């Protein structure tokens, strides 16, 4: 019995010592996305609008103490905007805010790191049709659970370490806002707030976000170049609202991604061999 107790205590002491030696810094990615957006929202207009899209995003990653090499926590935040026009030149604007918190588990299949997880997210935003009178805006707001999956593959091109990754996020269950088919926001302001919140699933609140990225590790910092494809749609109370984005993303990762110079005491949330 004493031997078992000593063994356990020794194991705990070793674990704590090891845990103290390992560093789990918060790593971040800051990026700007520029590209194209197409929007259709029949509460505002029976025609579709498209134009330029601009977004600013931040991601913060940290290995978790329970299993630092496998378990990661991440926060994401984004501001998105769209400057759209109909084919005939009628303007429309899109503004959105996104925030999410999630956990993911990662493992390796040869050199490829595969990860999967889930996250809780909040989104708010609006499409604004400047020429509309009593229906100038279609607001969106939701809280939901998304499933994430990603794969990352480190390669070297002319001595420069790169991490090529693809990440897909698929919202699943949610609660989201939608006014009634012909309801004005004035009526909501007056107090008619019945049936505004809906339970969402893929059939009425579908979305997907896919980021194909290449991180160029220069050591002290890394440069991210990526392509993001994103869809957000809502179908409730006979209102059909859809947005599609194609964005080129350029970002920086302060501190690099640990491919050029690996410190064994630092748990790298981007890639661990």
Partner 1 sequence: MIPRNLLPLLAVLLCLPLTGCHGYEEYEADAFGTFDCIWQTVDDHYCFFEEKDVDWNEVRTRYRARIIPGITQQELFDLCAEMLAELKDGHVNLAWPFDVSYYRAWWTDYPQDFNLRTVQQYYLDFDYNTTTGLIYKTLPQNIGYLYYPSFDRKVGEGNLDYVLSVLSTCDALIIDIRDNSGGELTNIRTFLSRFIHETTIGGYMRHKTGPGHNEFSDPYPVKYEPAGENHVVWDKPIAVLTNRSCYSAANDFVAVMKELDNVKIIGARTGGGGGMPFTYALPIGWTLRFSTCPMADVTGRSIESGIDPSPGCEVHAPDEELAQGKDAILDFAISMFAGQ
Q: Are 141 and 124 in contact (CB under 8 A)?
A: yes
Among 242, 246, 250, 260, binds partner 1 (CB under 8 A): 242
Going 14 to 112 to 73 to 257, the CA torsion angle's sign is positive
| Binding flag, residue 127, partner 1 (CB under 8 A) | no
Nearest to 32 by CA among 58, 7, 65, 63: 58
Identity of the residue, 22 or 187, whose beta carbon is nearer to partner 1 in the bound complex: 187
Q: Least Å distance between CB 198 and partner 1?
A: 13
| Binding flag, residue 129, partner 1 (CB under 8 A) | yes
Apex 167 CA angle, 166 and 169, nearest 5? 155
Stretch that binds partner 1, among 11-19, 50-58, 87-95, 255-263 (CB under 8 A): 87-95
In angstroms, how far is CA 138 from the centroid of its own chain? 22
CA dist 226 and 88 (Å) reads 32
Q: Least Å distance between CB 246 and partner 1?
A: 17
| Binding flag, residue 116, partner 1 (CB under 8 A) | no
CA dist 252 and 256 (Å) reads 8
Among 181, 221, 254, 265, binds partner 1 (CB under 8 A): 181
| Binding flag, residue 166, partner 1 (CB under 8 A) | no
Stretch that binds partner 1, among 25-33, 115-123, 202-210, 263-271 (CB under 8 A): 202-210
Stretch that binds partner 1, among 1-9, 28-36, 50-58, 238-246 (CB under 8 A): 238-246
Nearest to 250 by CA among 208, 213, 220, 218: 213
Residue ranges with strand state E in 136-267: 137-157, 160-177, 197-200, 207-217, 221-236, 239-254
Identity of the residue, 56 or 208, whose beta carbon is nearer to partner 1 in the bound complex: 208
Q: Are 49 and 86 in contact (CB under 8 A)?
A: yes
Residues forming contacts to partner 1 in the complex (CB under 8 A) are 40, 42, 44-48, 86-90, 92, 129, 131-135, 170, 180-184, 186-187, 190-192, 202-208, 233, 235, 237-238, 240, 242
């Amino acid at each position: 019995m004493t031997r078992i107790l000593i063994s356990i205590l020794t194991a705990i002491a070793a674990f704590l010592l090891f845990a103290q030696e390992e560093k789990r810094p918060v790593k971040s990615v800051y990026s700007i996305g520029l590209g194209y957006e197409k929007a259709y929202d029949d509460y505002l207009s029976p025609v579709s609008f498209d134009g330029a899209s601009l977004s600013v995003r931040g991601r913060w990653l940290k290995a978790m103490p329970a299993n630092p090499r496998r378990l990661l926590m991440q926060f994401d935040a984004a501001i998105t905007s769209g400057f759209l026009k109909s084919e005939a030149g009628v303007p429309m604007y899109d503004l959105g805010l996104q925030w999410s918190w999630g956990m993911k588990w990662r493992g390796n299949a040869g050199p490829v790191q595969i990860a999967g997880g889930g996250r809780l997210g909040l989104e708010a935003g609006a499409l604004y049709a400047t020429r509309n009178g009593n229906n100038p805006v279609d607001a969106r707001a939701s809280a939901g659970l998304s499933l994430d999956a990603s794969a990352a593959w480190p390669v070297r091109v002319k001595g420069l370490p790169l991490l090529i990754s693809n990440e897909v996020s698929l919202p699943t269950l949610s609660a989201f806002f939608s006014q009634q088919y012909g309801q004005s926001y004035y009526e909501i302001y007056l107090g008619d707030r019945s049936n505004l919140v809906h339970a969402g699933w893929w059939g009425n609140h579908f979305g997907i976000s896919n980021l194909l990225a290449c991180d160029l590790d220069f050591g002290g910092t890394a440069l991210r170049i990526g392509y993001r494809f994103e869809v957000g749609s809502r179908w409730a109370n006979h209102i059909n609202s859809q947005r599609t984005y194609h964005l080129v993303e350029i970002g920086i990762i302060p501190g690099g991604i640990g491919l050029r110079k690996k410190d064994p005491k630092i748990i790298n949330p981007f890639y661990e061999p």
